[in-house]
Amino acid sequence: MTAAMAENMRPVEQACYWLAGRRREADPPLVGRREADIAIIGAGLTGLWTAIFLKRLDPKQEIVVLEQGTAAYGASGRNAGMLGEGIDHSHELALVHFGRREAERLAGLGVENVRDLLRFLEERRIDCDLERTGQLHVALLPSQVGELRGSAEIARRLGLDHFRFLDAEETRAELNCARYQAALLNPNSCILDPVKLVEGLKREAGRAGAVFHERTRVTAIEKTGGGVRVRTAHLPGAVEAPAARMEATGVAAGRLQAAAARLKAAAARAQGAVAPGAAGELVARRLILATNAYTHQIFPRLLSRFIPLYDYILVSEPLTAEQMSRIGWRRRQGVTDTRTFFKYYRLTADNRILWGTSEAAYYPGNRVDAACDHSERHYAELRDSFRRHFPALGDLEFPYAWGGPICSTTRFTPFFGSAEGGRILYGLGYTGHGLGNTHLAGQILAHMALLRPSPLLDLALVRKKPFPYPPEPLRGLAVRAVTRALRRVDAGGRPGLLLRCLDAMGIGLSS
Ligand SMILES: Cc1cc2nc3c(=O)[nH]c(=O)nc-3n(C[C@H](O)[C@H](O)[C@H](O)COP(=O)(O)OP(=O)(O)OC[C@H]3O[C@@H](n4cnc5c(N)ncnc54)[C@H](O)[C@@H]3O)c2cc1C
């Protein structure tokens, strides 16, 4: 293993640029029994927005949020911080998935949603290094230029006329990359620091009266007469996979571990600290699962509707003024390209380049745990693609590299629902677009939990479930086959039979 590889295998709290160096005291874990009106599992953006909207709708509700790590441990603290208006993956796909009228509605709603979200941040003075830079969607091949013009036309037909087409010269004047053939600029998109956003929202939810228990993993959910009971365990250290921990524990090893845990617990009690594994129990009228890509670990029955995948990102050292002048980027727009497996990139507030890939990894068995947080294969490919885009910065180092779990659905939009007679509610599956969509999901879940009417509840994506994924072992095989086929299309090939069939079923990405 090279020094760079070892460096890239650090725990995510050090490897992720947004999380590194931000040491915050965790809120106390849940120990013993407590009650609440509504329990939320997960202190990512879904859980936080839901808590905020629940308190706004009914300040008297007692809301308790349980988080296995600290807030922002999941995707919400590890993302690229590129906030866009898109609710579906694209306006084209919104038409395919939901039809003309609903696509128009989603297009308008996406604009409104970002406007409302930004107003909230401004009113509450949440400082998350927000920059209203706009976003460039760039074509890398001459054949993709027509696609961009087509996208602008579709957006216009859906009622959005703020997109601006830039030719090759205009695009390169914004960011000097010889590969750019054209771009579509959405001036409304923004970039921000996602961990600062999470921290700001957590503060707001706390101010409104929501209570947080961090380092508290929910280990079981049980139905009671009038609601649900969740059982928890205190996780003082790194968050590991529950399944992996169970597998590693044979009977003899289990006894040894139990003895060690008892000793640790006694030592912790002597010091007045909460013992690792200390149990808690929360009884609530309703439970909201805000666990996105982790949901199957506590509620396996939803697994047919989503697939957990890992996205990976690099962040460079800060660029000098001279390096900045080589590439331009004065208006600091976020950038994505038109390929299915696109790259996304942006500047941070201190002028580092964040460089990410949407070619997400699937880990067999729907694995989501710290062992998936790094992928040297993805990092090597990211470094290579960066150099191909910006050879003038070929010697730039990337001291931060990490991955995070996203939750994908076959239609690339989230889904919502309830179980156990309305006791359990869920909203998940943002497919890598959760920064804006969680603000909508929080409103949807809050209205569902309090049985309040809202026009959002009759959105097709709330009423209808996405087409299911196959179970393992077919799931892994299907992901590999589709990935190979999409790579061929990205390299300039035509969609083969598999992709054409998926498109015909309304679950393809190449339409
Ligand atoms: C690398 C990467 C880049 C991305 N870039 C962008 C981007 O630029 N723009 C964009 O819009 N979106 C982006 N996304 C997607 C976006 O980050 C997510 O859609 C969004 O954060 C989802 O929020 P969430 O709260 O639903 O999930 P999460 O943030 O994953 O929160 C779920 C929480 O539940 C907790 N949890 C899970 N199980 C338990 C349990 N048993 N007990 C207690 N707690 C539990 C987890 O610890 C976690 O904190 C990106 C994602 C990744 C990974």
HEC secondary structure over 418-429: EECCCCEEEEEC
Check if 69 has its Cβ closer than 6 Å to any atom of ligand 1: yes
Q: Say how many Å lie between the CA of residue 76 and the centre of ligand 1.
A: 4
Please tell me the predicted confidence (pLDDT) of residue 277.
86
Dihedral angle at the C-alpha atoms of 174, 175, 179, 181, nearest 10 degrees? Answer: -10
Please tell me the predicted confidence (pLDDT) of residue 508.
67
Across the chain, what does the average pLDDT equal? 90
Please tell me the predicted confidence (pLDDT) of residue 249.
28
Peptide bond into 473 cis (omega under 30): yes
- Closest Cα to atom 36, ligand 1: which residue? 42
Question: How is domain 3-134+188-216+290-463 classified at the CATH fold level?
Answer: FAD/NAD(P)-binding domain (3.50.50)
Q: Say how many Å lie between the CA of residue 358 and the centre of ligand 1.
A: 15
Please tell me the predicted confidence (pLDDT) of residue 8.
63
Burial degree of 346 (CB within 10 A; 0-12, 13-18, 19+): buried
Question: Do residues 425 and 418 lie in contact, with contact meaning Cβ atoms separated by under 8 Å?
Answer: yes
**Closest to 366 measured CA to CA, from 488, 463, 469, 491:** 469
Nearest atom of ligand 1 to the alpha carbon of 48: 25
**DSSP reduced 3-state for 299:** coil
Comma-separated ranges of CATH 3.50.50.60 domains in the chain: 3-134+188-216+290-463
Distance between CA atoms of 511 and 508, rounded to whole angstroms? 6
Please tell me the predicted confidence (pLDDT) of residue 252.
35
Q: Best of 70, 76, 83, 239 to mutate for ligand 1, by most ligand atoms within 8 A of CB?
A: 76
Spans in the chain with pLDDT lower than 50: 243-263, 265, 269, 511
- Closest Cα to atom 25, ligand 1: which residue? 44
Check if 372 has its Cβ closer than 6 Å to any atom of ligand 1: no
Contacts of 116 (CB under 8 A, 6+ apart): 439
